[in-house]
Amino acid sequence: MKISKVEDWIPPIVIALKFNVDGSARGSLGLAGIGGVHRDHKRNVLCIFSANVGFQDAITIEILAIARACKLYVSRPELIGRDIAVVRDSKVAVSWVNSGGIGSIKHVQTIYDFRKHLNSLGKVCVMFSLRASNSVADMLVKNGLGGSRDLLKWNAF
């Protein structure tokens, strides 16, 4: 019997925001989707997204999910200057984003693009969390896998 550690979603500190993202594919190289949920310290949902990203491998999906969250963050002027944590359940993707390296040659441009955003903002951290705390993002990924249209919804702040 396998026992898994369960981790609930933990809200950020009062002045910060949290963007949980996820990605999944059907097979090792298959139809892929990404999704995410952006919440504040009161657990209010500020934004949700899901998207079908075509046929991708697992690590590409992980990188695309983080990149989409960063792009959405910088698209909203009212968020600039707020601390934000982008949370992902892929240790590899998180380490590539946080290291000075470039990861796989296939992902150089994507990693460079969102590192540029992260560096210009200065208050964004990308961190790892167990899959259990990413359950809403995981649900949105399933929508992205099956959906023919992208979903993006912002709520009032």
Give kind and range of the element (H or E) at residue 36: strand 29-40
Residue 62 lies in a domain: yes
Could you read off the pLDDT of 39-67 as tens digits, one per residue?
888 888 999 999 999 998 888 888 888 88
Domain span at residue 148 reads: 16-152
Q: What is the CATH number of the domain that holds 71?
A: 3.30.420.10
**Listed residue (85, 64, 86) closest to 141, CA to CA:** 64
3-state DSSP call for residue 55? strand
16 backbone dihedrals φ, ψ, rounded to 5°: -110, 170
Give the global pTM.
0.80
pLDDT band, residue 6 (cuts 50/70/90):
very low
**CA-CA distance, 57 to 32, in Å (whole number)?**
8
What total of structural domains would you count in the chain? 1
User: DSSP string of 121-132?
Assistant: H--EEEEE--GG
